[in-house]
Amino acid sequence: MALKVLLFAAARQRVGAGSVELEIALPTKVAIVSSALVQRYPDLQGLVATSRWAIDQTFVDPDASIHGNEEIALIPPVSGG
Amino acid sequence: MNSLERSAIELVRDPIDTDRLLTRARRSDCGAVLMFLGTTREWTGENQTQFLEYDAYESMAISEIQKLVDEAFLRWPIHFVSIVHRLGRVGLGEASVAIVVSSPHRGPAFQAGEWLIDTLKECVPIWKKDFSATGSSAWLHPSAVAPEKS
């Protein structure tokens, strides 16, 4: 199943796109999506390690479940304000 | 004076209209109106900033700011909060964020205002990119060892 992950800031810049699609068996967990992202884009490793994840615009823990119809986003360390 | 709305949250791409925000914040039952502006500073250590660019996960930024506003109302006896964050390019001395708090007495306004900006800077999915005078640019991701350079 192609899972879409939204990317922002340095992650978006490194990948060159505002989102990527990862092939992942469902249901899955955030931790697995995180690993799959780093496997596909190894130079995101350091950034992903310090980033949080959001599902449907809410911060989640790595063990949060994903069923396939959620909006998933990688949230690198924020710097607003 | 609009005494009905208790908060106003916006993401904008134009210069923040601070006069309008202050007008909107006045309440006849409030003795204090506090405004904080976060502005683009030229020097950070040895880095000379030319301008900043802000990007956001907009839908989540709005909902996260709303959560902060809701919590501020629970914590302090305040009557109105406005938070406006600018996206896109923000030049030196220009405001990237405005926080306005109105309350009957000034103590809660100061406390809520400080808490709101401190917490916004930790929790809200907005990012700044520094464009330095040398011509290089870098996304700021504070928990990383060094800024993400391009």
Gap between the Cα atoms of A76 and B126, Å rounded:
10
B143 interaction partners in chain A (CB closer than 8 Å) = 50, 77
Q: How far is B1 from chain A (nearest CA, A)?
A: 27
User: Does any CB of chain A come closer than 8 Å to the CB of residue B87?
Assistant: no
User: Does any CB of chain B come closer than 8 Å to the CB of residue A42?
Assistant: no
Q: Which of B124, B144, B148 sits opposite A80 (nearest CB)?
A: B124
Predicted confidence at residue A35, as pLDDT, reads 98
Query: Which residue in this structure is represented by tokens 């980033």?
Result: A51
pLDDT band at B71 (very low <50, low <70, confident <90, very high): very high
Mark yes or no for CB contact A80/B54 under 8 Å: yes
Mark yes or no for CB contact A57/B63 under 8 Å: yes
ipTM above 0.90, yes or no: yes
What φ, ψ does residue B36 adopt, rounded to 5°? -115, 135
Predicted confidence at residue A23, as pLDDT, reads 96
Gap between the Cα atoms of B77 and B39, Å rounded:
27
Side by side, which strands form the sheet with B7-12?
B7-12, B80-86, B95-103, B32-39
Tens of pLDDT, residues A32-73:
999 999 999 999 999 999 999 999 999 999 999 999 999 999
Q: Which of B60, B63, B144 sits opposite A50 (nearest CB)?
A: B144
pLDDT band at B51 (very low <50, low <70, confident <90, very high): very high
